[in-house]
Each structure stands twice: as structure tokens, then as C-alpha cells.
Amino acid sequence: MQLGNLKNLVAINLSGNMLVGPIPSSLVHLTNLTSLCLSLNQINSSIPSDVGNLKKLVHLDLSSNYLNGSIPSSLNHLTRLNYLSFHSNFIEGFIDQEIRNADHLSWLDLSNNKMSGVIPIELTKLTQLEYLNLSSNQLSGRIPPRIDLLSNLLHLDLSHNRLVGNIPTHIGNCNNLKHLSLNNNSLNGSIPAQFGSLSLFYIDISHNVISGRIAHHLGELTSLEFLNLSHNNLSGTIPDFLNSMTQISSIDLSYNNLEGKIPREFKDRYPPQAIIGNKGLCGEFKGMPSCLTSTTTNLEEEPERDRFHFSTVSLYLLFYLSIFGYLYIFLSANNDVESERTVNRNGDLLSIWNYDGRIAYEDIIKATEDFNIKYCIGTGGYGSVYKAQLPNGYIFALKKLHQLEAKEAALIKSFETEVKVLSEIRHRNILKLHGFCLHKQCMFLVYEYMERGSLYCVLRNDDEAVELNWTKRVNIVKGVAHALSYLHHNFNPPIVHRDISSSNILLNMEFEAFVSDFGTARPLNPNSSHETILTGTYGYVAPGCEKRSRKSCKSLE
């Protein structure tokens, strides 16, 4: 019996299967449907143009597929919709007036698509909205000035788009707003004072061009737990009110134009990476100049005190501080950086920043018995990979360059490339880099540990290959596709990996895929021909490229 003949159906949930091809046209004849969920499949068609026939729909979820085309105009016939999610597809076009009549809509998620154009003013008429996510698209223009008409809004995410202009001051009238993400746009102006009238617990407006001082009205946000103002043009001093906001568990003011003395209370509560990249700051923070001397003088007068230092994953600091022969490493398995301690190891003083008071360089050496071969779990394009269980129980994977490899300029370049790329990327299907160590005697990267190892190894093991059924395999392909789509379409400038192979796809216990090994990755210059010499693993690049290994060849994933 065809599904379209079941006229009395009121709910269909086929999510998380292996459905391929288009959405069956017969579904639009099930006019009694109130809920339709086809998420987490491989549907690769456009949304049926007559989806508006399903006028009783309350819940529509087509997320995490390969849907293309635009949102059909007939969607505006679905006046009863309460939940609408098309996230993680390849939907293009504009957010026009397709949802202008959905007066009951409380959840709208169109994130991680390829939608362009401006955010239409019609969205502000959906006054029942509580969740609005348009992130990771190609939206441009300004945020609608009367965003405050969405008076019930709890969660607003417009991050990773191309938005410009000021943050609307009217946003201060969204009295119920708890979560605000506007990061990775081109927003300018200052932080609206109206933020202080909200009940926000999460603010991320990083990676914009916001200027001015940090608004003292933020000090009125008694529920604020997460604050990220990094990578902007903020100036002035670190405001005193931040020291008294003890409820904040994570703060990032890095890469701005802040200046002046770092408050002692700030030092006691937050790690150095929260303020790096502010050349005008000074104080008793490790890695920061004294307020009595210049940065250069401070570094020259006390070279031994900070001979080894643990800090954030930052290529800028890596190059800058390597001039003075320093060692920088930062372990960020979580954000609870609590303490600092200084120890003496082999005659050198180590200044250690860690997240639970126990993780340190010597703990890594101890956990691997100075990188004993028995802890080696594999070898990569460069170096060997070790498993390290640290005193707090956390397990990490360490990729280490051997001493001979550490002298090869090409391998060092790959190491630095991986640090730079992974320090800027945040995606659920891309392997997380927790830290790095750069020193002529010791070079290694600290990664999240993947229990099942590489896809290549799993497929070669008969028992694990059987366990890796088709559902899991499809999810692995989708995970890799989402990661590559993020690198190619949602990152500026776009990044090409250039070595996607089964050896560079790692799996956790749930067989979730994570793309790794970014040593050959590079950004795409829009003015470039995108041609390069051959890189990658033979067997995974175009056959024509393999035959022309010494000639110019286009990068292919």
C-alpha cells in the first residue's frame, strides 16, 4: 500500500533512516497530517511545491538532509505551523514571504543552508516565535530594526552570516531573550546599552567590528554565564563590574584594543587566553608586560621566568613568542580554568595554566613515559600518535613530531598549518584541538581522543566492519559532508582540506565521524586560480593528478 493512500494519518516520523531520493509526491495528499518528520536522511530533492496542501500541519521537520532549491511559496498556506526546521540542508534563495502567515510559529530553524538576501521584515510579525536560528547562511544587510516585536523570543542566533550595520537598540525590548549569538558577521557600532535590561545568560558577538567601550550596562545582567566579545575593535579598560559578576563561567575579551592595568580579581578568575591580543593591557598576568615596563623590556629582563609557558592556541603568539625561545601550550578540555602553579623541571621553570589544577606539561610526559613506544597508537603523515590518560582521568591523543622530523621545514610548516586552521574552526564533525607545544626539543599537538581510531582501521577489522552497518556508514558520510560544507561554504575565507581519506576520518564510540589531519589544508583566495602542486593520499586524489605529481594540478576533495 502506498503511503499516500493512508488518508487518515495524522503523524509521520521517518527520521534517522536511509531514505534517499525525492520526497514522495503522494505525501501532499495526506491532508490530515499534523506532524511530518523526515530529518536525518538522504533526501536530495527540493521541497514539494504543493506542500501547502497539508494545511493541518503543526510540526514540519526536514532537517539534516540534502534538500536543495528554495522554500516554496505555498508554505504560507500552513497557518497552523508551530515548529518548522529545515536546518543543515542546501536550500538556496531568499527568506521571502513564505512564512508570513504562520502566526502560531514558535520554533524556526533555517540554519546551515545556503540562503542569501536580507532578513525580511515579515519575520518580525511572527510574534509567537521563541526560537529563531538563521545561522551559517549567506544572509546580508542589516538586522531588522524592530526585532523587538518578537517579544516572546528566548533564543536568537544570526551568527556566521554577512550581516552589517549596528546591533538594533530595540533588541533591549525582547524582555524574554536568554541566548544571543551574532558572532562572525560584519556588525559595527557599539554594544547597545539596552542589553542591560535583558535577562541574557549567553552573549556571543565575537568576530565583528564592534567598537567603543564595553558597556557598563552589561554589569546589570545578573544571570549572565557566557560572554564572548573577542575579535572586535573594543577599546578602553577592562571594566570593574566584570570582576564582581561571579556567575560568569566563561569570558573572552581577546583580540580587541583594550588597554590599562588588568584587575587582580580578573587574574584570579580567568585564564590568559581570555585577554590575549590586547596590546595595551599590562599587569601580573603571565605573558603580559608589567605596567612599569614595555613588553620588550619585560621579556628581555626575565627570559628564564617564563621559559616554558602554557597559553591559548594562537598562531600569532606561536610566531611572536618563538622569537624569544618560549614554549606555549594550552589545554582546554573544558572552560573551567581554575589555577596557576610554578614548578621546577630539569632546571627550567614552568609557568602552567590548566583547567583543574593538575594538568601540566610534566603530566603529559609522565602519562606517556616520555613518549614511550608502548603508548603509540599509530603514525600519520608526520609524526606518531600517542594515547595519554592524565591524572584527572581525561584521555587525549598526542601527535608528536620526532626529533628528525622536527628539523624538516615542510613538516614544521604542516604542523603550524594544522594549529592555525584548527584554532579557528569549531564544528561538531571536525576533530577538536585542545592545545599544542612548540619547542625545538618537543613538538606535539593535543587532540580529543577518538576511541575507535580511523575509519580505515575499522573497515580493515572484520568484527568492527560488520558492526559498521549501513546506517552508521551513511551517518559517517553525512558527518564528513557537513564538515566539508562548513569549511567550503560557511568559513571565510573558505578552507580546502586536500587530503580526505579513510585514514583521516576518525570515529568515536558512537561511530560519529570527525575530519582530522589539516596539515595540507589551505584557505582559498577568491582572486586565485586555486591551482596547487599535488597533495594528499594517493588513491584519494583524482587519477589524473597522480600521473602529474610534479605538475600543477587542481585541488580536489
Q: Name the residue range of residue 521's domain.
A: 463-554
Q: Is 258 left (phi over 0), alpha (psi -120 to 50) or beta?
A: beta
Q: Is 407 left (phi over 0), alpha (psi -120 to 50) or beta?
A: alpha
What was the pLDDT predicted at 438?
66
Q: Using alpha carbons only, how large is the chain's radius of gyration in Å?
A: 26
Average pLDDT over residues 304-326: 33
Q: Do 386 and 501 belong to one domain?
A: no
Question: Does any domain span residue 153?
Answer: yes
What was the pLDDT predicted at 506?
92
Q: Do 431 and 495 belong to one domain?
A: no
Report how far residue 524's alpha carbon sits from residue 496's, in angstroms, rounded to the nearest whole number. Answer: 7
For the stretch 243-266, pLDDT in tens is 778 888 889 999 999 998 888 777
Report how far residue 425's alpha carbon sits from residue 418's, in angstroms, rounded to the nearest whole number. Answer: 11
What was the pLDDT predicted at 207?
93
Q: Do 222 and 122 belong to one domain?
A: yes
For the question of residue 499 being annotated catalytic, the response is: yes
The answer for residues whose C-beta is within 8 angstroms of residue 15's C-beta and 6 or more apart is 37, 38, 39, 40, 41, 61
Residue 402's pLDDT band (cuts 50, 70, 90)? low
Q: Is 477 left (phi over 0), alpha (psi -120 to 50) or beta?
A: alpha
CA atoms lying within 13 Å on the CB side of residue 501 = 18
Cβ–Cβ under 8 Å, residues 479 and 403: no
Question: Does any domain span residue 295?
Answer: no
Question: Does any domain span residue 342?
Answer: yes
Average pLDDT over residues 139-153: 89
The sheet with strand 138-141 has its strands ordered as: 116-118, 138-141, 162-166, 186-188
Whether the per-residue pLDDT at 322 is higher than 50: the answer is no
Report the candidate in 442, 438, 436 with the shortest Cα–Cα distance to residue 422: 436
CA–CA–CA angle 286, 289, 290 (5° rounding) = 100
Question: Does any domain span residue 316?
Answer: no
CATH code of residue 472: 1.10.510.10
Per the structure, how many domains does the chain have?
A: 3
CB atoms inside a 10 Å sphere around CB 469 = 11
Listed range (238-242, 282-286, 496-500) with the worst mean pLDDT: 282-286
The answer for residues whose C-beta is within 8 angstroms of residue 21's C-beta and 6 or more apart is 43, 44, 45
Instruction: Among 392, 419, 448, identify where a domain stops.
Output: 448
Q: Do 120 and 172 belong to one domain?
A: yes
Question: Does any domain span residue 457?
Answer: no
Average pLDDT over residues 205-225: 89
What was the pLDDT predicted at 447?
84
Mean pLDDT, the chain, as a whole number?
76
Whether the per-residue pLDDT at 382 is higher than 50: the answer is yes
Report how far residue 496's alpha carbon sits from residue 485's, in angstroms, rounded to the nearest whole number. Answer: 10
Report how far residue 111's alpha carbon sits from residue 91's, in angstroms, rounded to the nearest whole number. Answer: 10
CA distances from 243 to 196, 224, 247, 267, 422 (A): 17, 13, 10, 9, 31
More confident of the two residues 550 and 292? 292
Question: Does any domain span residue 308?
Answer: no
Average pLDDT over residues 270-290: 81
Listed range (20-24, 316-320, 417-421, 450-454) with the worst mean pLDDT: 316-320
Report the candidate in 112, 68, 67, 109 with the shortest Cα–Cα distance to residue 483: 112
Q: Do 31 and 138 belong to one domain?
A: yes
Q: Do 389 and 426 belong to one domain?
A: yes
What was the pLDDT predicted at 4?
67
Question: Does any domain span residue 322?
Answer: no
Percent of the chain with pLDDT over 70: 75
Whether the per-residue pLDDT at 279 is higher than 80: the answer is yes
Cβ–Cβ under 8 Å, residues 182 and 227: no
Report how far residue 217's alpha carbon sits from residue 203's, in angstroms, rounded to the nearest whole number. Answer: 13
What was the pLDDT predicted at 534?
43
What was the pLDDT predicted at 97?
64
CATH code of residue 142: 3.80.10.10
More confident of the two residues 4 and 192? 192
CA distances from 172 to 127, 168, 191 (A): 16, 8, 11
Is 547 annotated to bind a ligand? Reply is no
What was the pLDDT predicted at 465?
86
Report how far residue 106's alpha carbon sits from residue 141's, in angstroms, rounded to the nearest whole number. Answer: 24
Whether the per-residue pLDDT at 355 is higher than 50: the answer is no
Question: Does any domain span residue 321?
Answer: no
More confident of the two residues 335 and 480? 480
* Residue 385 C-alpha from the chain's centroid: 24
Whether the per-residue pLDDT at 1 is higher than 50: the answer is no
Q: Do 472 and 443 belong to one domain?
A: no
**Phi/psi at 255 (5° precision):** 55, 55
Q: Do 208 and 60 belong to one domain?
A: yes
Percent of the chain with pLDDT over 90: 27
For the stretch 31-73, pLDDT in tens is 999 999 999 999 998 999 899 899 999 999 999 999 999 999 8
Listed range (9-13, 171-175, 271-275, 355-359) with the worst mean pLDDT: 355-359
More confident of the two residues 79 and 336? 79
Average pLDDT over residues 121-139: 90
Report how far residue 530's alpha carbon sits from residue 553's, in angstroms, rounded to the nearest whole number. Answer: 9
For the stretch 427-479, pLDDT in tens is 888 888 877 776 656 778 888 888 888 898 888 888 888 888 988 899 999 89
Instruction: Among 235, 264, 288, identify where a domain stops.
Output: 288
Report how far residue 531's alpha carbon sits from residue 439's, in angstroms, rounded to the nearest whole number. Answer: 33
Whether the per-residue pLDDT at 291 is higher than 70: the answer is yes
Cell numbers describing residue 487: 569549511
**Phi/psi at 508 (5° precision):** -90, -170
Whether the per-residue pLDDT at 348 is higher than 50: the answer is no
Q: Do 411 and 340 belong to one domain?
A: yes
Q: Do 92 and 214 belong to one domain?
A: yes
C-alpha dihedral over 97, 102, 107, 113, to 10 degrees?
Answer: -20
Q: Do 134 and 262 belong to one domain?
A: yes
CA atoms lying within 13 Å on the CB side of residue 401 = 26
Cβ–Cβ under 8 Å, residues 30 and 6: yes
pTM, entire model: 0.56
Q: Do 541 and 418 belong to one domain?
A: no
Instruction: Among 260, 288, 316, identify where a domain stops.
Output: 288
CATH code of residue 391: 3.30.200.20
